[in-house]
Structure 1
Amino acid sequence: MQFVPFDQLALKWGLPSDQHTWSGESKFTDVNYTLEYRAGEGNQSARIVWAPVSCYQPELTAIIIPFRNRFANLSVFLHHMHPLLRHQRRRYTIFLIEQVKPEVFNRAALFNIGFREASKVANYLLPEDDRMIYGCEKEPLHMTAHIDRHNYSTPYKTIFGGGVAMHPIQFKKARGFPNTYYGWGGEDDDMSQRLTLSKQNILRRNSTVARYKDMKHDMEPGNDYNPTSVLKQEENIGEAYGVKLGD
């Protein structure tokens, strides 16, 4: 994997690297330009890197995308997120983690792989408002708490699905996501419980700013719903899987 030179990135995307304005519309034409893959162990990873040149941003934001087959959604997401993140003056890296095998999707395991890849670089919902800052807080942040599909309300108190923001210390303290959830759902509720057991609180921003549109997609054949009974409730959360404190 290689970093994309900022001047080439700005030239390719058609936007100046010191852009200060936000039009709400992207000018991108080729979302595959910066995707450089590394394959191994049934997964492929890629990263997209950008940093502002007109100011110093000490915080590096890693955006981890578990992915398989939804190229149309990925295209819309990247077209939307690049100008938003650049407008916020973020120094960011997008990690695209694609599952090649097995057939049943494991979103949680891809998050853990993405975390490991992001840790080597530094010690598909769309935001409707660019005041929704993409950075970490003192507590784990549930970013997509208010989406149009739920009428911009929070379905239940412990929900932690969709987009979340966590500092590496917070992620390690919760021991990462469980690797045991194959199929649809469950891993986000498990992570919510892990945060509770590790004495961390879930933070949500005001619904005036933290508003998201849900990109429609069909459920993949073979990705059955996970029953809630498989939630791991033991005190030694993540001992056998996920991310260890020493990682």
Structure 2
Amino acid sequence: MKSVLSLPLTRVKKIILILDENCLDIKAAENVTVMKKKRQDVPKTHSFWINILSMIKPKYFYLSIVVFCLGYMCVIQLFWMLEKTSRKIRSDILKSNGTQNSILKTCPRISPNLKGQRKLNLTPCFMSECSMETKATNSSPENCNMMYCNNNASACVFADCSRHFPATSQSRQFVTKECEVNNTNETTEDHFALLGQFGGYWKPNQCLPIRHVAIIIPFRDRREHLCILLKNLIPVLVSQLTEFRIFVIEQADKKVFNKGRVMNAGFLEARKIYEFDCVIFHDVDLIPEHDGNLYECGDQPRHLSVAVDTMNYKLLYSYLVGGVLGLRPQHFRRVNGFSNNYWGWGGEDDDMALRIVYSGLRITRPAAKVARYKMLTHEKRKKFEKRYDLLRSARQRMPGDGLSDVPYRVISTQLYTFYTKIQVDVGNTN
């Protein structure tokens, strides 16, 4: 091989030039390989925007950035406006339901408002039934649904608790403060919480109630007792944070009182008006003494009036369910309601106890220390002489005597402030 030094200078320059070109090609190939590897490492989203930007001519680059930012801000503004509108709609719905809270929690089963043993308000009073005006007009109810009287019948005071509301809905919110009693003659302590809505309906506005109760009061010629019961019962139900509606079912005919038919008719009519998950049949002469006695239904029928003052606060016998009894609607249908055949005083409650047992259910009760009631004095109805004969045949009669075939006719349905009154004709004794 010839030495490089022996070659001509021009030849040496050509050899050097060829070597330089080969080196550049090798370096370029290495750079391409590195760029491909980097391109593979770039995320797809980044590579997408890099490709978009690479297609933009340099002179339009900054303009494109400005347009992109403006578009992004418009999208953010649109989503913000939609969220604001959604919040306003939800707020309006909650306000229409009587609450300002954006998020409502479930009411506790044991309310913090309970006071335990309550001081009873037994001041003689009677209900002055001022009905609501026709719904077609925007008139307001009169302020005379509750009246208090002292021992001197000439000195009466009215509870001025209602306010002006459009008479277009049954869900009007009632006054949420203690009632102001107007009396120019003397000072009275007959204040009690009249929290509720018209038609005897009320629900808490600070939480979602877990109880939805229909109170059914069989009624006839007990106006004084009804007034005393309501002004003591309503504060108990309110303090328990229970959603409730009170139904007064009055036997309006002149026949002997049939409590079973009245309560069966009341259940069927209340079901048409109010959706409840617990029905409590409540005697008009039993006043609750303790608000720890929860007005609720469980998995079994629940007898609430365990300890009554006239019975020395003791349960007379284990199958007693008279006074105040709560049942789930499905349980009441399962036992086919009350018997329709008991006229006068006594028998229908014991018949119900037998129906509960024969249906495979059992009677439950709260503790006697809270299930305390005071019984108002009244004249007893005439005893039903055939009640013992009917009790012997209770099991055989149960499928065809009760809720499934109760004979009644609705005479009128009237909405008052503290209750819904339904007058019924319960048919003949035969």
TM range (shorter): 0.7 to 0.9
Cα distance between partner residues in 1 of 2:268 and 2:290:
30
Contact 1:238 1:244 in 2 (8 A): no
Q: Structure 1 residue 241 and structure 2 residue 393: aligned?
A: no
Which residue does the alignment assign to 2:308? 147
Counterpart of 2:383 (choices 219, 224, 233) is: 224
Cα distance between partner residues in 2 of 1:27 and 1:163:
22
Structure 1 SS opposite 2:213: strand
Contact 1:193 1:233 in 2 (8 A): no
More displaced 10-residue stretch of structure 1: 121-130 or 66-75: 121-130
Superposition pairs for residues 28-107 of structure 1, below 5 Å?
Answer: 34=198, 47-107=199-259
Q: Please tell me the residue identity of whatever aligns with 1:240.
A: G
Contact 2:338 2:351 in 1 (8 A): yes
Displacement of 1:193 in angstroms is 0.4
Which residue does the alignment assign to 1:17? none
Cα distance between partner residues in 2 of 1:184 and 1:234:
17
Displacement of 1:74 in angstroms is 0.3
**Higher RCO (CA-CA < 8 Å; seq separation 6+):** 1
Distance 1:26 1:134, change over 3 A: farther
Q: Please tell me the residue identity of whatever aligns with 2:383.
A: D
Displacement of 1:196 in angstroms is 0.8
Displacement of 1:238 in angstroms is 3.2
Contact 1:158 1:192 in 2 (8 A): yes
CA deviation vs aligned residue, 1:37-61 (integer Å, no higher than 9, x gap): xxxxxxxxxx511111111114310
Displacement of 1:113 in angstroms is 1.1
More displaced 10-residue stretch of structure 1: 232-241 or 185-194: 232-241
Q: Structure 1 residue 111 and structure 2 residue 263: aligned?
A: yes
Contact 2:215 2:245 in 1 (8 A): yes
Cα distance between partner residues in 2 of 1:165 and 1:237:
22
Structure 1 gaps of 5+ residues are 15-23, 35-46
Counterpart of 1:191 (choices 342, 352, 376) is: 352
Cα distance between partner residues in 2 of 1:26 and 1:193:
42
Aligned length: 219
Contact 2:354 2:394 in 1 (8 A): no
- TM-score (norm: length of structure 1): 0.80
Contact 1:145 1:154 in 2 (8 A): yes
Q: Structure 1 residue 170 and structure 2 residue 323: aligned?
A: no
More displaced 10-residue stretch of structure 1: 225-234 or 153-162: 225-234
Counterpart of 2:340 (choices 166, 179, 201) is: 179
Cα distance between partner residues in 1 of 2:373 and 2:394:
33
Distance 1:186 1:77, change over 3 A: same
Counterpart of 2:275 (choices 99, 114, 122) is: 122
Structure 2 SS opposite 1:238: helix
Counterpart of 1:214 (choices 360, 375, 390) is: 375
More displaced 10-residue stretch of structure 1: 198-207 or 47-56: 47-56
Cα distance between partner residues in 1 of 2:179 and 2:261:
31
Structure 2 gaps of 5+ residues are 1-131, 133-168, 181-188, 277-284, 406-430
Structure 2 SS opposite 1:244: helix
Percent identity of the aligned residues? 33
Structure 2 SS opposite 1:138: coil
Q: Structure 1 residue 136 and structure 2 residue 297: aligned?
A: yes
More displaced 10-residue stretch of structure 1: 113-122 or 172-181: 113-122
Displacement of 1:229 in angstroms is 1.7
Cα distance between partner residues in 1 of 2:374 and 2:394:
35
Which residue does the alignment assign to 2:173? 6
Distance 1:25 1:164, change over 3 A: farther
Structure 1 SS opposite 2:307: coil
Contact 1:176 1:242 in 2 (8 A): yes
Displacement of 1:128 in angstroms is 1.0
Q: Please tell me the residue identity of whatever aligns with 1:27.
A: F
Q: Please tell me the residue identity of whatever aligns with 1:191.
A: M
Distance 1:74 1:173, change over 3 A: same
More displaced 10-residue stretch of structure 1: 116-125 or 149-158: 116-125
Contact 1:67 1:97 in 2 (8 A): yes
Contact 1:143 1:210 in 2 (8 A): yes
Contact 1:111 1:177 in 2 (8 A): yes
Displacement of 1:170 in angstroms is 1.0
- TM-score (norm: length of structure 2): 0.47
